Amino acid sequence: VTGHVKADIPLQSGVDSSKLDWLVTLDYKDLSLGKPFEDQTVTDADGSITVEPEKAVISAKALLNGIPAELDLIEPLRDGGPPRSRKVALVLDDKMRAAAMPGLSPLLSGTIKVAIDKSGTGNQTVSADLTNARLDIPWAGWSKGPGIPANVTFAMAKSGDTTTLSDFDLDGKTFSIDGGVVLV
């Protein structure tokens, strides 16, 4: 870990400390968190943390639950600071996806790019590029092969063992599926 601190330091008494500014930057390699962060394990992180009076900004490449990920987080530190933001980008192959989301294996194969955005206090917004994947929807007798462009977006909320996908939109050049999905 290497870091820098920049701070206004008064040389006389009576200075209003609320007007003093400061900035801390830390660069790190191979950082692993000893405890889960928001129920996620973070290991082998390379990145930076920048902390200033109104916010902390974290940007890293890491293993998130064993899956390579890019993390961009903003944490407000005071009222009036920026909104909380959690953005994660993943590239999942069959093996990683089967370990993380085994229920998708009968429907999806191939490499997918996934972006997860949990900003503010709402649901997670998920988008995925399914262009390089095979998608099978057997109950509809439909499939999409690899190389055919397709994207999916949805808002995801979890409650106990139930996951709800609202505003579900699977879209390609000649097909689309939209609606809501409840997984139990």
Q: What is the pLDDT of residue 81?
A: 87
Paired tokens of 94: 């069959």
The helix or strand, by DSSP H or E, that contains position 28, with its residue range, turns out to be: strand 22-31
pLDDT band at 27 (very low <50, low <70, confident <90, very high): very high
Give residue-wise pLDDT tens across range 121-140: 667 899 999 999 999 988 88
Q: Can you tell me the mean pLDDT for 38-46?
A: 92
Q: Can you tell me the mean pLDDT for 59-68?
A: 94
Q: What is the pLDDT of residue 60?
A: 97
Contact partners, residue 73, CB within 8 Å, separation at least 6: 56, 57, 58, 59, 85, 86, 87
Bridging pattern class, strands 108-110 and 112-117: unpaired
The helix or strand, by DSSP H or E, that contains position 97, with its residue range, turns out to be: helix 94-100
Q: What is the pLDDT of residue 121?
A: 67
Q: What is the pLDDT of residue 151?
A: 96
Percent of the chain's residues with pLDDT above 70 = 98
